């Protein structure tokens, strides 16, 4: 059902339409839900296959201990970090993953020091960190480093599938390339687009191809 048979050009046309409709229906989202770049990085790792509400608890406990800080996070031992992020699930794994990317960031000299590195090179370096895959890398690039990349996540896939813009068999790179080719290569646009897709997915389209009140109906 809903197999997408169209050309890339058709995808671009329809995807732009989806973006315009969502923007009109919901307005700008002003994402990501975080107060600092390091908080974005933490959220991006902790939300892997995990609901955001569970991540929020973990971030709150890090905030209480003044650990939303690159240097402090780099310094804290894993055995002390692990219990603080327990609520985000897979917490032993995520402790290692977080330490890995935080270690790299700190070693580089922090976020500002990355500004001279081109986006493709930066993405490669992020992917070299243990536990940073394509989605986590792109989330960090877009929401923490202001780079113009499109983030493909479970919400994006679900929406694209529901509206016949994907079959479900596409790989990460394929959807990312298609989406990026459909939109202006600007951080603000790609940020909004992904945020709007998440907003839609959280409210609508959880089980049926379309629901009443859906902005895309």
Residues making contact with DNA (CB under 7 A): 31-33, 43-44, 47-54, 57, 86-87, 89-94, 130-137, 139, 143, 151, 153-155, 172, 194, 198, 202
Among candidate residues 45, 58, 59, 49, the one with its CA nearest the CA of residue 104? 45
C-beta closer to DNA: residue 71 or 173: 173
Q: Which is nearer to DNA, 59 or 73 (CB)?
A: 59
- To DNA, the closest distance from the beta carbon of 55 in angstroms equals 8
- The answer to whether the CB of 152 falls within 8 A of the CB of 138 is yes
Angle at 198 between CA 114 and CA 70, to 5 degrees: 30
Residue-wise DSSP of 92-129: HHHHHHHHHHHHHHHHHTSSGGGTTS-HHHHHHHHHHS
In the complex, the smallest distance separating the C-beta of residue 139 from DNA, rounded to whole angstroms, is 5
C-beta closer to DNA: residue 13 or 124: 124
SS3 63: helix
Q: Which is nearer to DNA, 3 or 10 (CB)?
A: 3
Which token pair is 186? 């600007």
Cβ at position 88, least distance to DNA in Å:
7
For the bound state, the minimum distance from the C-beta of residue 197 to DNA, rounded and expressed in Å, comes to 10
């Amino acid at each position: 059902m809903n197999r997408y048979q169209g050309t890339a050009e058709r995808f671009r046309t329809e995807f732009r339409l989806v973006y315009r409709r969502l923007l009109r229906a919901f307005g700008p989202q002003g994402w990501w839900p975080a107060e600092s770049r390091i908080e974005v990085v933490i959220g991006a790792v902790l939300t892997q296959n995990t609901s955001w509400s569970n991540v929020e608890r973990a971030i709150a406990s890090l905030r209480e201990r003044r650990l939303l800080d690159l240097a402090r996070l780099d310094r804290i031992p894993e055995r002390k970090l692990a219990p603080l992020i327990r609520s985000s699930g897979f917490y032993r794994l995520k402790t290692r993953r977080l330490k890995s990317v935080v270690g790299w960031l700190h070693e580089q000299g922090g976020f500002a020091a990355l500004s001279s590195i081109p986006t493709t090179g930066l993405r490669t370096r992020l992917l070299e960190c243990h536990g940073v895959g394509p989605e986590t890398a792109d989330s960090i690039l877009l929401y923490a480093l202001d780079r113009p990349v499109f983030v493909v996540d479970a919400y994006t896939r679900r929406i694209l599938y529901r509206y016949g813009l994907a079959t479900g068999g596409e790989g990460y790179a394929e959807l990312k390339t298609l989406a990026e080719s459909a939109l202006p290569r600007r951080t603000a646009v790609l940020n909004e687009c992904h945020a709007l897709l998440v907003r839609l997915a959280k409210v609508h389209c959880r089980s049926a191809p379309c629901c009443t009140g859906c902005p895309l109906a």
